[in-house]
Amino acid sequence: MASSDKLPTRAENFSEWYVELIQRAKLADYSDVKGCMVIRPNGYAIWENMQRVLDGMFKETGHVNAYFPLLIPEEYLEREKDHVEGFKPQLAVVGYAGGAPLEKGQRYVIRPTSETIINRSFAKWIQSYRDLPMLMNQWANVMRWEMRTRLFLRTTEFLWQEGHTCHETDEQAQEETLRMLDVYRTFAEDYMAMPVLCGQKTESEKFPGAVRTYSIEAMMQDKKALQAGTSHHLGQNFAKMFDTQFQGRDGKQHHAWQTSWGVSTRLIGALILTHSDDAGLVVPPKLADRQVVIIVVGKGDERTKAKEKAFALAADFKTAGLRVSVDDDESKNPGFKYAEYELQGICLRIELGPKDLEKGTCVMVRRDAERDPAGKPKKEFVPLDQAVAHAQSTLDAMQKSLLEKAKAFRAANTFEVNSYDEMKKRADDGFLLAHWNGDAKVEKQIKEETGLTTRNRPFDLKQEPGKCVVTGDPSPGRIVFSKAY
RNA sequence: CGGGGAGUGGCUCAGCCUGGUAGAGCACUUGGUUCGGGACCAAGGGGUCGCAGGUUCAAAUCCUGUCUCCCCGACCA
């Protein structure tokens, strides 16, 4: 088969590699609706695994799921000044329904996020401090009109979860905001094998209507940053606009302190951009839809025997809790299948053929195995009776190794910069840790002149005073600058 | 939204300049031979040429508009 069947390499054209990989691995497809995508079974399966894990984590931290309407009265959004200002350019509005135009005041926006409509309900449900905290989450689709879209990373409609909580005090809301940020960090690192920087966003980068916004920021393989999740302390901003009040322990009425937090199908984009290679998709075992595929090799009687073994082996894998399938399709050559399963990101490939039957072994190939100069990955010959145990330990090792590799990559592409010149020179080099005086105008100037934006001020970055790289003004500590998605 | 590129069977593209009844490779279907890194032979199926107007006896081809995708910017998860 010709080279046209290969993906463009990351070095050749990173964007094209990304787009083609998604389509060839059958993760998603374009639709006829501008800016919207179809998530195909291979992609949706990853999302389902993410949902399952995250939902479990939300439940463990005391949250319950609910569902609120897709359509929000236009007027609700207008109540919170920053909120409407922030979202106005991205709204899709329903202005025609039931066969007739809707008057202003009757129109609906398709939710870009649900703080407003959820507060209408919270206001009814909360009377006393005894009703608090109220810890809720919804899995939903949202719509934000975008100028430029990219599969998974930015689409007009996307799937996400949005957590919304109410608390008695500022401190409790703050705790919740950070607790959920930490849940996101755990998920990113332990499941996605994607290291993230947890920290606070600047004023200009915060959520419209929030008091403070925190984010997890990851570094993609092209060294650009990706905001992978956000957690907001909303203060009493929405509570005041929607009268979300409770009678406190002091007998007086108080507005609730609120938080909201979300991650979206963008995480799938993050996963791809973090781990995948020139052969195709790489998915960490914990999130992979199919962890193991057993490919039957051979012909005639030998093939029949290999097939029997393969199904027996698959049954053992299933018993051990692994997600496995057998491929005994005779119309495709093994070589084709190897390439195809690499493209689709199956974590572990097992080859089972005549030579194995003779020796009582099978061949195992890790998706992230080292490759020789010809591009062939390293193969392991494993006795059949050790196959399950070996596969399990291999998948564990792969999960760890992906995280380590991503960590090393980030470390190798993170730099302290001490002058504006240096910052300009290194603009495309990754994460730049620089002093900045905190002035939004300077932040904007840097963005316009270099394309660099502030990502966040990481909690674990030691804050030592210094001088702003642009103005020379005092700076409380370094903040992360980077080009970003 | 600005600059650049592209839309022709599922995919990659030729044909367009110079209008005349739509092609190739891959993929797909069937049969056979193969099978440990993208197999081969044979026979088949599949396209209102992105969409809408216009010019013309005649439009994939010329003109106008429009939509979508890709790349580079501005806005954003």
Domains, chain A: 3-275 (3.30.930.10), 290-393 (3.40.50.800), 414-482 (3.30.110.30)
Strand B near-CB residues (< 7 Å), A 291-350: 297-299, 303, 330-336, 338-340, 342-343, 349
Residue pointed to by tokens 């005894």 = A130
Q: Is the CB of A363 under 7 A from strand B?
A: yes
Is the CB of residue A179 less than 8 Å from the CB of residue A62?
no
Q: Is the pLDDT of residue A344 over 60?
A: yes
What's the rounded Cα separation, in Å, for the pair A40 and A28? 5
How sure is the predictor about A2, in pLDDT bands with cuts at 50, 70 and 90? very low
Number of H helices, E strands in chain A: 14, 28
The nucleotide closest to A205 (CA, C1' atoms): B76
Q: What's the pLDDT tens digit per position in A119-176?
A: 999 999 999 999 999 999 999 999 998 888 889 999 889 999 999 999 999 999 999 9
Q: Is the CB of A149 under 7 A from strand B?
A: yes
Q: What is the mean pLDDT of residues A478-482?
A: 95
Amino acid code (one letter) for A16:
E
The residues, any chain, with a CB within 8 Å of residue A7's CB and separated by 6 or more, are A17, A20, A21, A24, A278, A279, A280, A343
pLDDT (0 to 100) of residue A20:
87
Q: What's the pLDDT tens digit per position in A400-436?
A: 999 999 999 999 999 999 999 999 999 999 999 999 9
Angle in degrees, 0-180, between the axes of helices A266-275 and A387-412, rounded to the nearest 10: 90
DSSP assignment string, A420-457? HHHHHHTTTSSEEEEE----HHHHHHHHHHH--EE--E
DSSP assignment string, A276-314? -BTTB----GGG-S--EEEEE---HHHHHHHHHHHHHHH
Q: Which of A67, A155, A66, A69 is nearest to A111 (CA)?
A: A69
How many Å from the CA of A91 to C1' of B7?
Answer: 29
Give the bases of strand B that a protein CB approaches within 7 Å.
Answer: 1, 12, 25-27, 29, 34-39, 67-77
How many Å from the CA of A272 to C1' of B45?
Answer: 37
Q: Is the CB of A484 under 7 A from strand B?
A: yes
Q: Is the pLDDT of residue A4 over 50?
A: no
User: What's the mean per-residue pLDDT of chain A?
Assistant: 94
How many Å from the CA of A191 to C1' of B14?
Answer: 47
The nucleotide closest to A376 (CA, C1' atoms): B37
Q: What is the mean pLDDT of residues A176-204?
A: 97
pLDDT (0 to 100) of residue A75:
93
Point out the least confidently predicted range of A162-166, A199-203, A231-235, A421-425: A421-425
Is the CB of residue A73 less than 8 Å from the CB of residue A108?
yes
Strand B near-CB residues (< 7 Å), A 32-51: 34-35
**DSSP 3-state assignment of A17?**
helix
**Where does A30-163 have alpha helices with state H?**
41-60, 74-79, 81-87, 115-125
How many Å from the CA of A21 to C1' of B45?
Answer: 29
Q: Is the pLDDT of residue A227 over 70?
A: yes
CB atoms within 10 A of CB A419: 13
Farthest-apart Cα atoms in chain A, separation: 83
Q: What's the pLDDT tens digit per position in A349-379?
A: 999 999 999 999 999 999 999 999 888 999 9
pLDDT (0 to 100) of residue A3:
34
Q: What's the pLDDT tens digit per position in A76-108?
A: 999 999 999 889 888 888 888 888 888 888 899
Q: Is the CB of A72 under 7 A from strand B?
A: no
Q: What is the mean pLDDT of residues A106-119?
A: 94
Q: What ipTM was reported for this prediction?
A: 0.87
